[in-house]
Amino acid sequence: MQIQGKTALITGAAGGLGQAIAEELSARGATLVLSGRNREVLEALADRLGGRVEIADLERSEDVDRLAAIGAELDIVVANAGIGNDGPIRELTTESIDRSISVNLRAPILMTTCFIQAHLAAGTPGHVVLIGSLSGLAASPQTRMYNATKFGLRGFGLSVRQDLHGTGIGVSTVEPGFISDAGMFAQSEVDLPAMVRTKKPADVGSAVADAIARDRGEVFVSPIELRMMSTLATVAPGFSARVQRSLDVAGRKN
């Protein structure tokens, strides 16, 4: 889909990755609808890039329904909002489980479904981008709910893309690895092993735009060696777990 002249809704637009996505789509000629919880940041971004702000909390069903209805009338939806920071397993609660599922999985699935149904009914093209993670391919310690929801989001995105073949409606899943300067990894202050490289927020923005423009099913935003290790983890999770223990991955997250 050509981005120039289209209107795009971006969730989680107040965060660093959301801002990078907004900047890239704006540079390519899209009009923006910026959503998130931080009004001050969103309004400053809208002043700089144009577009409008929709304040929403994806833990609230009514906010998700409202955003889904807005997105269904637009050309592009980028489901970027997400939460991580799993606590210790002994502290896992029903509330924290529900929160992760609501924000990371339920909201993007409902928004995507509403978007698809509206565009199928109208016979119009459109594109959805789901922001996943390499954590949707490779499990790691202390990220159980993040892994669970990103595994689920990847499965949903790849499946519904097949359902839409030939309709003119695209669904892409963008899978970032470790992103410096913004996003959950940057906020976590994890001490990466020396051989592990990172990407920049702008790389995520470029990947999103590329996915839309070229109708790509899945785009990885990571160095090739990290992608290869994540892919290996899908077929050899035990080996991946041993490698992570040898690198003291759990200790690096403390």
Q: Taking a C-beta distance cutoff of 8 angstroms, is the pair 193, 208 a contact?
A: no
What is the rounded distance in angstroms from the CA atom of residue 10 to the CA atom of residue 76?
9
Residues 33 and 51: their CA atoms lie apart, in Å, by 6
Q: What residues are annotated to the active site? A: 146
SS3 readout for the chain = CCCCCCEEEECCCCCHHHHHHHHHHHHCCCEEEEEECCHHHHHHHHHHHCCEEEECCCCCHHHHHHHHHHHHCCCEEEECCCCCCCCCHHHCCHHHHHHHHHHHHHHHHHHHHHHHHHHHHHCCCEEEEEECCHHHCCCCCCCHHHHHHHHHHHHHHHHHHHHCCCCCEEEEEEEECCECCCHHHHHHCCCCCCCCCCECHHHHHHHHHHHHHHCCCEEEECCHHHHHHHHHHHHCHHHHHHHHHHCCHHHHCC
- Report which residue type is found at 110: L
Tell me the β-bridge partners of 54.
35
